[in-house]
Amino acid sequence: MKIKIVTLQAWCNKNITPLAWQRIVIKVLPSLREKGFELEELENPDPNRYFDEEEFKLFSETLSSVYQITFPKEEIENI
């Protein structure tokens, strides 16, 4: 499974707050840096850049711990 980073960012901005994405990125940045991601590219993601399953799991865990919500399965299935 791969999911576009811009899709996750847009969902956070629309369904939580415009700062939600930044908050999540800052929290997972150390782990994502190990996978080759940098802050700048996460704050302004390329439309063709994806998270794989492992990165999406980090995003989901952080979303749950910070906001006590989960990314809807329907959104993943519609991608």
- The Cα–Cα gap between 12 and 8 comes to 6
Residues 19-42, mean pLDDT to the nearest whole number? 95
Q: What are phi and psi of 48, to 5 degrees?
A: -105, 15
Q: How confident is the model at residue 4 (pLDDT cuts 50, 70, 90)?
A: very high
Q: How confident is the model at residue 73 (pLDDT cuts 50, 70, 90)?
A: confident
Q: How confident is the model at residue 79 (pLDDT cuts 50, 70, 90)?
A: low
What integer pLDDT is reported at residue 78 of this predicted model?
A: 55
Quote the tokens at residue 54.
């492992």
What integer pLDDT is reported at residue 74 of this predicted model?
A: 75
Q: What SS3 class is residue 49?
A: coil
pTM above 0.75, yes or no: yes
